[in-house]
Amino acid sequence: GDGTASARRKVSLARRPPNRPMTAIHTPHNLKHIATRGLSPLRLSPPRRSTMARSSTSSSSSFCDAFVERVEVKPTSSPSSSLAGLTACVKDIFDMSNHTTGFGHPKWRETHQPATENAEVVDLLLSSGATVVGRTHMDELAWSLFGVNYHYGTPRNPNAPNGKIPGGSSSGSASAVADGLADIGMGTDTGGSVRVPASYCGLYGIRPTHGRVSLRGARSLAPSFDTCGWFARDAALLRRVGNELLPPPATRANTPLTRWLVAADAFDLADPAASEAIYGAIAKKREELSLVFSSPPPQEVSLDHLGGGSYDAWFEAFRVLQSREVWQELGPWVEANRPELGPGIRERFEYARTVRDSEVEEKAATRESIRVRLAEVLGRDGFLMLPTTPGPPPTSNESPEVVTDLRARLLRLTSIAGLSGFPQVSIPVARVEGEGPVGLSLLGPPGSDEELLRLAERVANVL
């Protein structure tokens, strides 16, 4: 914010918990501050379209169809299967037999052969009765959160005003589901690539506990952060998909999530209008929500110092560790093929090349401290409420400075689940007038995915 008390809007949801002083939730006017810096807008570079991209572009030079290619792969199960009659789209990061996985970059497609078998989650969808109707666009090599692809364009956001981005990197799947072109959208989430598009496109989305859902047959970005997630237009279907994709938990019984926690300082990272919209939606239904949770009023908690630092420390730990893993996974291919990389992606690879072992060791210790402390805060029955994103979707022509600032604030929020490996569900609860949707997230203990999905469905029924 601008650093003055008068510039902060105080919004409080929680009543005072026992033996703990009440702390108001502050939401600094970050966007207003950014918007008044005098930065001239610079349109993001227009896409360098490949032949495949040209075949699916819309009338706009900067927006593209949600699909890389349309297909129709029939289910392998009986008509009575749980997902029978439903359609699914698949991010172009997952293998499909006889199709070349493009990974959001024409050079990747050019340097790889068609897959000989489906990714495991594709087979699970088909065996559960779903029909796969297409492969969807994604951000370049999955290393972005906005949905803007330098080579192919930007899938539209059907639930926001014209020019608003869908979020990424699972941009095409979110766009297709929001537009009613598929019932289920498969994506991956490393730094927020399901949660951010879910919030921006007004969808339900989940990042599961790390390792719960198979990524066999999917391209890897940063293995210790990568997860397989999905979108739906309603919470009941999000849960039904989870019933098919989530294997039985190895260590956790289905302990109900009844202890309602609010990450007060996480709301400090959100725009005032977004916080007000979220809190307004919750406050109207607070009594009903208390019945859903079968718990006392919500208790505010602070997370920023759990790792021995602040959210800046969380962001730095995520940035260093993710960058090292990305370079290990994709650096050899980048050096061997010298692909043309879009703005932002290029700079991140240049940084990733320089990460030192000493930095990795230090940030790995920070990550472990965060994971242990967050597990203590949640216990087995706690769930944490926080904004999914700092605000509604931005436009595709924001200045580079605004994009950099927004990415940093996004990652401070999304790194909570990323560093811990804990599951998080985004619920569309409100809109900022004239700007678009904003999502509310529920974050649970590791292995609580099923309970979190059930809780999200009950919250959705109230809100």
The alpha carbon of 343 is separated from its chain's Cα centroid by a whole number of angstroms, namely 21
Query: Are 381 and 256 in contact, with CB atoms under 8 Å apart?
Result: yes
Q: Is the peptide bond before 420 cis (omega within 30 degrees of 0)?
A: no
Mean pLDDT of 398-404: 84
Of the two residues 288 and 127, the one the predictor is more confident about is 127
pLDDT of residue 59: 33
Of the two residues 36 and 344, the one the predictor is more confident about is 344
Q: Is the pLDDT of residue 5 over 50?
A: no
pLDDT of residue 310: 83
Q: 213-271, pLDDT tens digit by residue?
A: 999 999 999 999 999 999 999 999 999 999 999 998 666 667 889 899 999 999 999 99
Catalytic residue from among 56, 144, 169, 441: 169
pLDDT of residue 17: 33
Sheet order of strands, 131-136 included: 67-73, 131-136, 87-91, 184-189, 227-232, 204-207, 424-432, 436-443, 382-387, 259-263, 299-301
Q: 308-366, pLDDT tens digit by residue?
A: 778 899 999 999 999 999 999 999 999 999 999 999 999 999 999 999 999 999 999 99
User: What is each CA distance from 412 to 38, 201, 438, in whole angstroms?
Assistant: 25, 20, 17
Helices (H), 42-163: 51-54, 106-110, 120-127
32-46, 196-210, 225-239, 248-262: which range is least confident on average? 32-46
Reported pTM: 0.88
> Catalytic: 169?
yes
What is the percent of the chain with per-residue pLDDT over 70, rounded to a whole number?
A: 85
DSSP-derived secondary structure letter, 16: P
Burial class (CB within 10 angstroms; exposed 0-12, middle 13-18, buried 19+) of 211: middle
Catalytic residue from among 193, 323, 441, 448: 193
Other residues' Cβ atoms within 10 Å of the Cβ of residue 305: 12
Catalytic residue from among 91, 107, 164, 363: 91
Structure tokens at 200: 């921006």
pLDDT of residue 121: 98
Mean pLDDT of 387-392: 97
Mean pLDDT of 414-423: 97
pLDDT of residue 286: 83
pLDDT of residue 136: 98
> Catalytic: 91?
yes
- C-alpha span between 355 and 349 (Å, rounded): 10
Calculated CA dihedral for residues 325, 125, 198, 307, nearest 10 degrees: -40
pLDDT of residue 251: 60
Strand 227-232 relative to strand 204-207: parallel, antiparallel, unpaired? antiparallel
pLDDT of residue 4: 32
Structure tokens at 193: 């690539």
- C-alpha span between 43 and 395 (Å, rounded): 10
Element at 428 (helix H, strand E): strand 424-432
**Averaged pLDDT of the chain:** 86
Structure tokens at 216: 């066999």
pLDDT of residue 250: 61
57-71, 139-153, 259-273, 358-372: which range is least confident on average? 57-71
Q: Is the pLDDT of residue 37 over 50?
A: no
